[in-house]
């Protein structure tokens, strides 16, 4: 708490100092301040898409230049003041980013980065060839009354952007952005529409850059394509974020101050070497301090990111939650399947991973799927949960065909899953991991927090709420993944070898949580390599081998089935020990 007060005290002091220099400083100081805060603003914008969301862009200057041109046109042709031109520029940035993001953010990270690089070049060529913008010669623009006025506006705008970025990082949107950055597949499985969320982040980031461009052109009173789309601004923006700490709220501010001080000092004494030093600095930071100055600061325990929608009180001091709210459950008598898959199949090149498999799951009971390694079990889960598109067959869920729906939509409508190899978010806490999934379901903050608290208590992780996954034991990591899936209140829960590597105590925890979920009507499909881990819970077993169902039935029957024994033991296996099941 005191940390937060110090944090905001320093911030307020910096803003006050900036305002003081902007009002009373000489033209030189005001101009230096303007440039530094403009770069901080651009850095905040770049950090939203490239830091929080993890999509590194080499073309942020596209929106800077676009904003500059739109603002110039508005100020010239509509004789509008800067405070009209800047919002119009922001809207233009968003309007261009929206369709562009819808296309580009389908791409892989590296192709997105390259695509953005190309975009900046295209924008520069367009600006050179359009008569309305003065072509390659550029155009003069109504300029601000004084540099001091520009600096004052820029300080306040940059401060607002930093506050906005802080609030973003504590919001549901911020949580989703970080989840996408950490593991987009796991984010989808938690019900996050990753594509839409990325596009939203891209639009915010573009809008901020465009405002930077609009104030830039108002400051210099002149605009030409090569200064609007210059690589220097791009480079400085990225350098600031890397120096300060990518993906952190205060990184752009700290980096901005350090780089501004450095380049001012260099420029005064060694104007020719400035670029060389800055270039060398990027390399140095990349090698020695990938987390930027913020990583050193947070190692001292300062400026830690605040937990998102943290628990109202320290949950470890709470009395144990009474989890059993009337374990009546929906009418278990009706045996209507909640999930039914018919003829599912998929091939990868020459490999037929799954072939003509039917799966039926009933409410409030567990189906175990077993089979040797490579039998196609995990692939079958990918088909059911829409992480892979079946080449044959279809999936019906709650009486509705769901094949082809996006994975996040299925997760929200009630098919939750875990992954064979844990997919947790390295930089999200236990609390935030479960909250992410819970808030896919609950619109209200209070409900999301309540659900998260309840589920963490149920799996016994509440006291670890503030920890990061890498500090948890492997068994607890598994529990966390199960908790995340349970937070989606699934009607069908798919567990892929969820109990592998767990202690007996942890398995007991999971069994209790699964029994509880089944009592509420959840159908569970559990893959295990070997049956004992789930045999006590499973009502039916289905055995896969070479992508096909080779046996199904009640556990005891299936385990004594000769075909099953052969699949597990190999064809030359002799007499099995009967009655061992």
Based on the shown chain and the rule CB under 6 A, indicate whether residue 123 belongs to the binding site for ligand ADP.
no
User: Least Å distance between CB 381 and ligand ADP?
Assistant: 8
Residue 376 binds which of ligand ADP, Mg ion, none (CB < 5-8 A, kind-dependent)? ligand ADP
- How many whole angstroms from its chain centre is CA 461? 23
> How many angstroms separate the Cα of 93 from the Cα of each of 86, 88, 204, 437?
10, 9, 9, 31
Q: Least CB distance from residue 420 to ligand ADP, whole Å?
A: 6
430-441 and 172-182 helices, crossing angle to 10°: 120
CA distance 260 to 41: 13
Kindly tell me which of 184 and 294 has the beta carbon lying closer to ligand ADP: 184
Among 7-15, 203-211, 347-355, 555-563, the segment contacting ligand ADP (CB under 6 A): 347-355
2 or 373: whose CB is closer to ligand ADP?
373
From residue 427, alpha-carbon distances to 146, 297, 449 in Å are: 45, 17, 19
Helix (H) / strand (E) element for 171: namely: none
Taking the complex as a whole, how short is the minimal distance between the CB of residue 373 and ligand ADP, in angstroms? 5
**Are 105 and 202 a contacting pair, CB within 8 Å?**
yes
Give the C-alpha separation, 266 to 274, whole Å: 6
Q: How far is the CB of 528 from Mg ion (least distance, A)?
A: 10
For strands 139-140 and 548-553, give the pairing.
unpaired
Would you give the distance in Å from CA 431 to the centre of its chain? 15
Find where tokens 């990061």 sit. Answer: 468
Strands 222-223 and 139-140: antiparallel
Taking alpha carbons only, the member of 260, 432, 269, 403 closest to residue 342 is 403
CB of 404 to Mg ion, least distance (A): 23
Binding string to Mg ion for residues 365 to 404, with x set by CB under 5 A, is what? ------------xx--------------------------
Binding partner of 351, given ligand ADP, Mg ion, none, CB within 5-8 angstroms per partner class? ligand ADP
Nearer to ligand ADP, 351 or 530 (CB): 351
- Kindly state the smallest distance separating residue 376's Cβ from ligand ADP, in Å: 4
Side-by-side strand order, sheet with 548-553? 415-417, 492-496, 523-527, 366-370, 538-545, 548-553
Which among 100-108, 327-335, 346-354, 425-433 is the span making contact with ligand ADP, rule CB under 6 A? 346-354
When CB distances are held under 5 to 8 angstroms depending on the partner's kind, the choice from Mg ion, ligand ADP, none that residue 25 binds is none
395 vs 534: CA distance, rounded Å: 25
DSSP element (H, E) containing 159: helix 147-169
Least CB distance to ligand ADP at residue 446 (A) = 40
373 binds, among ligand ADP, Mg ion, none (CB under 5 to 8 A by kind): ligand ADP
Nearest distance in Å: CB 417, ligand ADP: 13
Contact segment (CB under 5 A) with Mg ion among 124-132, 418-426, 427-435, 479-487 equals 418-426
Q: Tell the smallest beta-carbon distance from residue 376 to Mg ion (Å).
A: 8
The alpha helices in 47-108, defined as continuous H runs, are: 61-77, 82-104
Residue 302 contacts which entry, Mg ion, ligand ADP, none (Cβ below 5-8 A, type-dependent): none
- Residue 375 binds: one of Mg ion, ligand ADP, none (C-beta under 5 to 8 A by kind): ligand ADP
DSSP 3-state of 48: helix
353 binds, among ligand ADP, Mg ion, none (CB under 5 to 8 A by kind): ligand ADP
Distance CA 416, CA 557 (A): 29
Measured from the CB atom, the residue of 18 and 371 that comes closer to ligand ADP is 371
- Size of the residue set binding Mg ion (CB under 5 A): 3
348 touches, from ligand ADP, Mg ion, none (C-beta below 5 to 8 Å by class): ligand ADP
**E strand or H helix at 396:** strand 392-397
What is the smallest separation between the CB atom of 388 and ligand ADP, expressed in angstroms?
7
Task: Please report where in the chains the tokens 């839409």 appear, as a residue.
Answer: 196
Max CA pair span of the chain: 96
Residues of this chain, 507-546, that bind ligand ADP according to CB under 6 A:
none
Question: Do residues 210 and 90 make contact, with C-beta atoms less than 8 angstroms apart?
Answer: yes
Q: Which residues, numbered 418-447, are part of the site for ligand ADP (CB under 6 A)?
A: none
Pattern of binders to ligand ADP over 292-331, x per CB under 6 A? ----------------------------------------
Contact assessment for residue 97 and residue 202, using Cβ atoms and an 8 Å cutoff: yes
Binding partner selected for residue 308 from Mg ion, ligand ADP, none, CB under the kind-specific 5 to 8 Å limit: none
Q: How far is the CB of 529 from ligand ADP (least distance, A)?
A: 8
The listed partner (Mg ion, ligand ADP, none) that binds 374, CB under 5 to 8 Å by sort, is: ligand ADP
Nearest to 132 by CA among 76, 89, 216: 76
Select 64 or 419, whichever has its Cβ closest to ligand ADP. Answer: 419
Binding of Mg ion by 420 (CB under 5 A) = yes
Centroid of chain to Cα 184: 6
- Which residue's CB is nearer to Mg ion, number 264 or number 548? 548
Tell the smallest beta-carbon distance from residue 556 to ligand ADP (Å): 23
Interaction with ligand ADP in 348-387: which residues (CB under 6 A)? 348, 351, 353, 371, 373-379
Residue 456 CA neighbour count, 13 Å, CB half = 27
Angle, nearest 10°, between helix axes 292-299 and 251-269?
120
Give me the least distance between CB of 190 and Mg ion, in Å please: 20
Q: Among residues 138 and 371, whose Cβ is nearest to ligand ADP?
A: 371
Residue with tokens 């982040």: 201
Question: What are 219's two structure tokens?
Answer: 């400051």
Contacting residues toward Mg ion, per CB under 5 A: 377-378, 420
Contacting residues toward ligand ADP, per CB under 6 A: 348, 351, 353, 371, 373-379
């Amino acid at each position: 708490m005191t940390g937060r007060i110090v944090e905001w005290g320093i911030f307020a002091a910096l803003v006050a100092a900036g305002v003081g220099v902007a009002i009373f400083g000489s033209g030189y100081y005001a101009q230096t301040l303007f440039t530094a805060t403009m770069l901080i603003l651009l850095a905040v914008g770049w950090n939203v898409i490239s830091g929080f969301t993890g999509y590194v862009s080499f073309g942020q200057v596209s929106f800077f230049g676009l904003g500059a041109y739109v603002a110039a046109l508005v100020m010239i042709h509509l004789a509008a003041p800067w405070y009209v031109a800047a919002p119009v520029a922001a809207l233009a940035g968003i309007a261009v980013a929206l369709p562009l993001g819808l296309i580009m953010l389908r791409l892989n990270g590296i192709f997105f980065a390259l695509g953005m690089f190309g975009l900046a070049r295209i924008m520069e060529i367009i600006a050179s060839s359009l008569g309305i913008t003065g072509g390659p010669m550029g155009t003069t623009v109504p300029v601000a009354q004084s540099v001091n006025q520009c600096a004052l506006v820029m300080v306040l705008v940059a401060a607002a952007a930093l506050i906005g970025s802080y609030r973003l990082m504590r919001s549901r949107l911020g949580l989703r952005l970080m989840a996408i950055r950490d593991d987009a597949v796991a984010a989808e499985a938690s019900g996050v529409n990753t594509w839409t969320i990325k596009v939203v982040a891209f639009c915010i980031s573009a809008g901020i850059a465009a405002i930077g461009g609009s104030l830039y052109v108002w400051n210099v009173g002149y605009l030409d394509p090569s200064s609007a789309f210059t690589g220097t601004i791009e480079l400085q923006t990225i350098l600031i974020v890397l120096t300060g700490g990518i993906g952190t709220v205060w990184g752009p501010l700290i980096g901005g101050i350090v780089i501004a001080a450095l380049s001012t000092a260099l420029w005064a004494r060694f104007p020719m070497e400035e670029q060389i030093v800055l270039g060398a600095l990027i390399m140095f930071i990349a090698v020695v301090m990938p987390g930027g100055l913020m990583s050193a600061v947070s190692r001292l325990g300062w400026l830690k990111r605040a937990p998102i929608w943290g628990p109202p009180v320290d949950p470890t001091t709470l009395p144990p939650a009474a989890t059993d709210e009337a374990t009546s459950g929906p009418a278990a008598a009706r045996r209507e399947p909640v999930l039914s898959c018919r003829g599912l199949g998929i091939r990868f090149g020459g490999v037929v991973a799954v072939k003509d498999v039917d799966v039926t799951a009933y409410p409030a009971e567990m189906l175990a799927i077993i089979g040797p390694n490579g039998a196609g079990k995990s692939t079958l889960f990918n088909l059911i949960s829409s992480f892979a598109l079946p080449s044959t067959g279809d999936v019906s869920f709650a009486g509705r065909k769901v094949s082809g729906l996006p994975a996040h939509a299925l997760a929200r409508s009630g098919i939750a899953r875990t992954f064979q190899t844990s997919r947790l978010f390295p930089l999200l806490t236990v609390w935030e991991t479960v909250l992410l999934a819970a808030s896919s379901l609950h619109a209200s903050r209070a409900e999301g927090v309540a659900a998260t608290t309840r589920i963490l208590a149920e799996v016994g992780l509440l006291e670890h709420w503030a920890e990061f996954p890498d500090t948890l034991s492997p068994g607890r990591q598994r529990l966390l993944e199960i908790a995340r899936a349970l937070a989606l209140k699934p009607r069908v829960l798919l567990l892929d070898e969820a109990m592998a590597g767990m202690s007996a105590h942890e398995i007991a925890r999971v069994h209790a949580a699964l029994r509880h979920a089944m009592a509420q009507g959840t159908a569970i499909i559990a893959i295990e390599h070997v049956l004992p881990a789930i045999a006590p819970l499973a009502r039916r077993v289905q055995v896969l081998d070479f992508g096909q169902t080779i046996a199904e039935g009640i556990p005891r029957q299936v385990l004594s089935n000769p075909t099953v024994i052969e699949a597990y033991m190999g064809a030359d296996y002799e007499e099995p020990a009967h009655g061992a099941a």
